[in-house]
Structure 1
Amino acid sequence: MNDIKWWKNSVVYQVYPKSFNDSNNDGIGDIAGITEKLGYLKKLGVDVIWLNPIYVSPQVDNGYDISNYRKIDPRLGSDEEFETLLNSAHEMGIKIILDLVVNHTSSEHPWFKDALKSKDSKYHNYYIWKDGKPDETPNNWGSSFGGSTWDYVDKLGQYYLHLFAKEQPDLNWENPNVRQDVYDIMKFWLNRGIDGFRMDVISLISKDPKYPDGPLVQNRKLGSYYAGAANGPKVHDYLQEMNREVLSKYDIMTVGETPHTSSKDGVLYADASRKELNMVFHFDHMHLDYGKYGKYSDKRFKLVDLKRVLSEWQNAMYEHDGWNSLYWSNHDQARPVTRFGDDDGKYRVESAKMLGTILHMQQGTPFIFEGEELGMTNAKYQSIDDYTDIETFNTYHRFIDQYKLPKDFTMRSVYLKSRDNARTPMPWSDKANAGFSTVNPWIKLNPNYKEINVENVLSDKNSVFYYYQKLIKLRHELPIITTGKYELLDKDNSKTYCYLRKGSEGTMFVAGNFATDSQVVNIPELSGSGKKLISNYDSPDVVKSGDIILPPYGTVVYLFEN
């Protein structure tokens, strides 16, 4: 790699503000609460904090429906508190990136309110409208939250497009005024000193102008959502324009969330020579446990498929001078220990460490979602009434009322896949309300917070926290983790994940056991001896090529120096 930018050596910690720390005891996490805990994040060793949306919002979709892009939501804090957070983080050497949500706005945004008044409104063309009759939608696209992507406005005799909730109308990026207003919003925050953006569903901003019907899903009347909306004909034109007008003028980090994007598509966004984004979040590994009804499923992933997908992205980005984002979870995904590890067995801690190792030793920028460094699990609430997420509720009622699926299967799928699993309050202690607040939080605590909490892990030198701390330190100290070429080993093994990282200073051997019994793995012919960098069991400090044994959910990394 000929161009080592700061974000290539960085580790990002994602903070879901509503659920991180409540400073004013109203049950909702806030900006001042994040500032209070900066010392904890500094101790972990992270370089960047990504904040989920902090802007004014009706909260239909937990802040991803924005009604004012330039104001902090008063429930989360004030402009002054944000300045304090930004300055305090910078003083500690920690950067801050914000969520940029510009595929859609809230229906409460002044632009949309004005657009509803008349077809002659200046802002009418800020959104996507189609003439039609009340019972004839422009196409069969299904919203990601259920129902049609089109909502009818009687007064105008038109439908507007919303790929998500009806309160999240899609912006019309064909309109140059929309693009300029978006760029102005970006400059507003960058000029305040933030260090970059995570761009929400940015692959959806350009739609197929024909708006074709999508393929039907499970014999439903509605077609698959996003059909004709992902990786549209002008998306790269828009992002290159954004880069020219905004991004190239600042030393920042950008990561685009790109649903329905293959590795072949992904390099178009992240190839440095194309001047678009630094990296993207793909979803190929997040789809491996989808079932007959999509995301909400009780299916378990297959390790061979996981290795294939992650290896494909490693190789594609390396070959095209692109860059990977590395993640197991975020605010929309299940906890990785539940999904890929051993959450209710005896290997929760071991599997959390193993998953961290397999991810952090790959090439790219690792993203840690809050609580991942504790080995947090899914919440497993007992009742659907304990959940808060719009997607979860819509799915539950669709499964029960429309598909007539058994309640036990439905609740099992909700337990495994609800977005609320990631949004439970950060457990700071085993005290009342997990030390998050002195009052009941906006969402129920994970019932196991008395066992899994920050106080406990900080007092245990063998905890997941200190293991993650070491993973981050290794990335900062060893260039091979940033620059080495990835090579998958034993691709058809269904129990173990082993790979090499090859660089000028040597070869790194990385191995992880995804099974509940011990496995033999082979270190290929490498010159000299391998020095242990990290492991989650008492592994030999020095090895030669040949067979080694990995205990249940064991992991180890050796460096063979040239």
Structure 2
Amino acid sequence: MTKWWQEEMIYQIYPKSFKDSNGDGIGDINGIREKLPYLKDLGITMLWICPIFKSPMIDNGYDISDYQDINPDFGTLEDLENLIEDSKKVGIKIILDLVVNHSSDDHPWFQEALADPDSKYRDYYIFKKSVDGRPPNNWRSIFGGSVWEKVRSEDMYYLHTFDKRQPDLNFENPELRREIHKMINWWLDRGIAGFRIDSITFIKKDQDYLSLEADGVDGLVTCKHKMRNRPGISEFLHELKQETFNKYDCVTVGEAPGVGYDEFGDYIGEDGYFSMIFDFKYADIDVESGSDWFKRTDWTVKEFRDLIFQSQEAIQKVGWGANFIENHDQPRAISKLIREPQYQNYFGGSALALMYLFLRGTPFLYQGQEIGATNFTRQFIEQFDDISSIDNYYRSMSEGFTKEEALNFVNLRSRDNTRTPMQWDSSRYAGFSTHTPWLETNENYETINVASQENDSESLLSFYRMLISTRNTSEYRDTLIYGDIKPIYDTKAHIISYYREHSTETLQVIVNMSSDETSMEIQPFTSIISNYKGIKNNDGSITLRPYEAMLIKLN
């Protein structure tokens, strides 16, 4: 049975960096409203807006101090209500980030927990006594350092998966869970279409809280072994769905790292916890671990292709996926996945776009991706805002790398790469603001921006518009949305090709992910889209130029 959200084209907005409407250097809700015509013209049908809740912004909004209020930097609840209404008028729905693994340490619950050890709010979080004057165990947080932070004037520590100012909520407490459910329903009643659910696989912790063998020179071990997708999480997730999402015709997108393919049925099957999930196995191909950036990999196109295909096949067996190559926690795809700098342009960007937009699942597009935004190069660690970048810089040096090597790792992988201000035009501050932005713009904004591409029929932005309209409204939409995917493994190592099949129609995607010209055998076909002018058809085979990508219909 089909679902309405399978047809959506979703655009992720990092509100702090999208558009500043009031000249304070920080993007805001009214800036998003201002750009609704642009988003509508691009073909977007849903916006995922990163956290706009009240927050001290230690982790740029993923540290929430009030779940039912808006951070004044972004506007007011009334501004959000106006955005929801204006978006509906142009056929765009809105989903928000749901961050319930942790709160801010500024949240009144945590402040009460600190102020009164006997308060009920002490059990809303995870507090443990020291062991021989040391932290309760040797688990390392995702952002580096111990997961435990000492409570001042007590022989106690509290647990944080991420930054020390993001204490984890205690899902073992049923009263805490009821508070969370109530808050979620409050938002759904306000007219949003659903949620992207942050770090949800961390809500269950192994209750033995035992140390493990260290995996770094710091004597710590990643907390993922004891805190990510652990036995017993199903009880929390089933309850979450029953008490909230099932009561509404909403969409839920789980950020679910650590979930094996054999568990996908639990997450996105017929009675799964969520509508769809992100699979990070191919997204994190450039590093051995998404949290250890100095552990780089020498990946190949074949490895990347096979990871995508394995993901697609696993998802197709049980449910629906959320396809992406960029987000607020990843570097720019064009810089990460296109090896040759001379093709980190229209050709590389269009090859990636066609490759992933026609996979089976709902596509997610991250702001700036449609114009080919790239990574930056910063000269000093002081230029970074992202706390994960700063932690990785110092941790890299503790692991024996030089300052130069550590800075290179951070430049390649920093979350700030996708958090720089949106590049609207070539004017000062890239048309994002009339004021110095909260984060430096990318140095190439004068050449890579919306204004230079929006009226150019041969630009990457125009190519994205064409791809999106082909998926959303063309005669091929049923095949591109609902058709099965059939990966083609027996191609040359640098070619990514797959079939989309529906009823009697078969479409084929072919992408040359290299700078080499190469040939490929092909059945008789009709061309639908190509990122080059004309296809080199040689009677039974085609010649693919560097980063050539095409969608064809087999005759």
TM-score surpassing 0.5? yes
1:539 to 516, 519, 534: 534
Deviation at 1:297, TM superposition (A): 5.1
Q: 1:279·1:324 contact (CA, 8 Å) conserved in 2?
A: yes
Q: Which moved more, 1:295-304 or 1:374-383?
A: 295-304
1:323-346 CA-to-partner distances (Å, cap 9, x unmatched) read 111000100000000001257314
Deviation at 1:215, TM superposition (A): 4.6
Q: 2:328·2:415 contact (CA, 8 Å) conserved in 1?
A: yes
1:424 to 420, 423, 426: 420
Question: Structure 2 vs 1, CA of residues 517 and 421 (structure 1 numbering), >3 Å: closer, same or farther?
Answer: same
Distance in 1 of aligned mates of 2:541 and 2:403: 47
Distance in 2 of aligned mates of 1:544 and 1:245: 59
Amino acid paired to 1:536: N
1:229 to 227, 230, 235: 227
Deviation at 1:522, TM superposition (A): 2.6
Distance in 1 of aligned mates of 2:137 and 2:169: 18
Question: Structure 2 vs 1, CA of residues 214 and 470 (structure 1 numbering), >3 Å: closer, same or farther?
Answer: farther
In percent, how many aligned pairs have the same letter? Answer: 38
Distance in 2 of aligned mates of 1:343 and 1:441: 31
SS of structure 2 residue aligned to 1:239: helix
Distance in 2 of aligned mates of 1:560 and 1:480: 13
Amino acid paired to 1:474: T
2:20 to 19, 22, 44: 22
Distance in 1 of aligned mates of 2:432 and 2:152: 46
* 5+ residue gaps, structure 1: none
Amino acid paired to 1:363: R
Distance in 2 of aligned mates of 1:296 and 1:29: 32
Question: Structure 2 vs 1, CA of residues 216 and 265 (structure 1 numbering), >3 Å: closer, same or farther?
Answer: farther
Question: Structure 2 vs 1, CA of residues 219 and 403 (structure 1 numbering), >3 Å: closer, same or farther?
Answer: closer
Q: For 1:77-476, list aligned pairs within 5 A.
A: 77-133=75-131, 135-271=133-269, 273-291=270-288, 294-296=292-294, 299-320=297-318, 322-342=319-339, 344-400=341-397, 402-476=398-472
Instruction: Determine whether 1:556 maps to 2:547.
Output: no
Q: 1:65·1:104 contact (CA, 8 Å) conserved in 2?
A: yes
Distance in 2 of aligned mates of 1:176 and 1:87: 35
Deviation at 1:438, TM superposition (A): 0.7
Question: Structure 2 vs 1, CA of residues 289 and 135 (structure 1 numbering), >3 Å: closer, same or farther?
Answer: farther
Q: 2:199·2:256 contact (CA, 8 Å) conserved in 1?
A: yes
SS of structure 1 residue aligned to 2:526: strand
Q: 1:486·1:501 contact (CA, 8 Å) conserved in 2?
A: yes
Question: Structure 2 vs 1, CA of residues 83 and 343 (structure 1 numbering), >3 Å: closer, same or farther?
Answer: farther
Distance in 2 of aligned mates of 1:491 and 1:216: 41
Amino acid paired to 2:446: K
Question: Structure 2 vs 1, CA of residues 225 and 522 (structure 1 numbering), >3 Å: closer, same or farther?
Answer: farther
Q: State the number of aligned residues.
A: 551
1:160-190 CA-to-partner distances (Å, cap 9, x unmatched) read 1100001000001111111111111111111
SS of structure 1 residue aligned to 2:166: coil
Distance in 2 of aligned mates of 1:146 and 1:140: 12
SS of structure 2 residue aligned to 1:99: strand
Distance in 2 of aligned mates of 1:151 and 1:113: 15
Q: 1:173·1:179 contact (CA, 8 Å) conserved in 2?
A: yes
Deviation at 1:135, TM superposition (A): 3.6
* 1:509 matched residue in structure 2: 508
Q: 2:54·2:70 contact (CA, 8 Å) conserved in 1?
A: yes
Distance in 2 of aligned mates of 1:127 and 1:455: 48
SS of structure 2 residue aligned to 1:116: helix
Distance in 1 of aligned mates of 2:153 and 2:109: 17
Question: Structure 2 vs 1, CA of residues 113 and 81 (structure 1 numbering), >3 Å: closer, same or farther?
Answer: same
Question: Structure 2 vs 1, CA of residues 169 and 492 (structure 1 numbering), >3 Å: closer, same or farther?
Answer: farther
Q: 2:114·2:122 contact (CA, 8 Å) conserved in 1?
A: yes
Distance in 1 of aligned mates of 2:67 and 2:268: 26
Q: Which moved more, 1:376-385 or 1:59-68?
A: 376-385
1:285-322 CA-to-partner distances (Å, cap 9, x unmatched) read 123211599334554432122122111121112112x1
Distance in 1 of aligned mates of 2:534 and 2:12: 31
Q: 2:23·2:435 contact (CA, 8 Å) conserved in 1?
A: yes
Question: Structure 2 vs 1, CA of residues 196 and 214 (structure 1 numbering), >3 Å: closer, same or farther?
Answer: farther
Deviation at 1:252, TM superposition (A): 1.2
Amino acid paired to 1:415: N
Q: 1:341·1:348 contact (CA, 8 Å) conserved in 2?
A: no
Deviation at 1:83, TM superposition (A): 1.0
Distance in 2 of aligned mates of 1:454 and 1:134: 59
Deviation at 1:154, TM superposition (A): 4.3
Q: 1:517·1:552 contact (CA, 8 Å) conserved in 2?
A: yes
Distance in 2 of aligned mates of 1:134 and 1:458: 63
Distance in 1 of aligned mates of 2:418 and 2:76: 25
1:220-273 CA-to-partner distances (Å, cap 9, x unmatched) read 4010132211112222222211211110111111101012222223332111x2
Amino acid paired to 1:535: S
Q: 1:354·1:536 contact (CA, 8 Å) conserved in 2?
A: yes
Distance in 2 of aligned mates of 1:377 and 1:234: 41
Question: Structure 2 vs 1, CA of residues 170 and 336 (structure 1 numbering), >3 Å: closer, same or farther?
Answer: same
SS of structure 1 residue aligned to 2:464: helix
Instruction: Determine whether 1:496 maps to 2:491.
Output: no
Q: 2:425·2:452 contact (CA, 8 Å) conserved in 1?
A: yes
The Cα RMSD (Å) is 1.8
Deviation at 1:382, TM superposition (A): 2.3
Amino acid paired to 1:446: N
Deviation at 1:521, TM superposition (A): 2.2
Distance in 1 of aligned mates of 2:518 and 2:404: 34
Question: Structure 2 vs 1, CA of residues 101 and 540 (structure 1 numbering), >3 Å: closer, same or farther?
Answer: same
Amino acid paired to 2:276: M
Q: 2:127·2:156 contact (CA, 8 Å) conserved in 1?
A: yes
* 2:521 matched residue in structure 1: 522
Distance in 2 of aligned mates of 1:383 and 1:432: 22
SS of structure 2 residue aligned to 1:376: coil
Deviation at 1:275, TM superposition (A): 3.8
Q: Which moved more, 1:80-89 or 1:94-103?
A: 80-89
Amino acid paired to 1:460: D
Q: 1:378·1:416 contact (CA, 8 Å) conserved in 2?
A: yes
* 1:63 matched residue in structure 2: 61
Q: 1:297·1:417 contact (CA, 8 Å) conserved in 2?
A: no
Distance in 2 of aligned mates of 1:314 and 1:483: 13
Q: 1:35·1:85 contact (CA, 8 Å) conserved in 2?
A: yes
Q: 1:307·1:491 contact (CA, 8 Å) conserved in 2?
A: no
Q: 2:334·2:344 contact (CA, 8 Å) conserved in 1?
A: no
Distance in 1 of aligned mates of 2:465 and 2:504: 23
Amino acid paired to 1:335: R
Distance in 2 of aligned mates of 1:351 and 1:336: 10
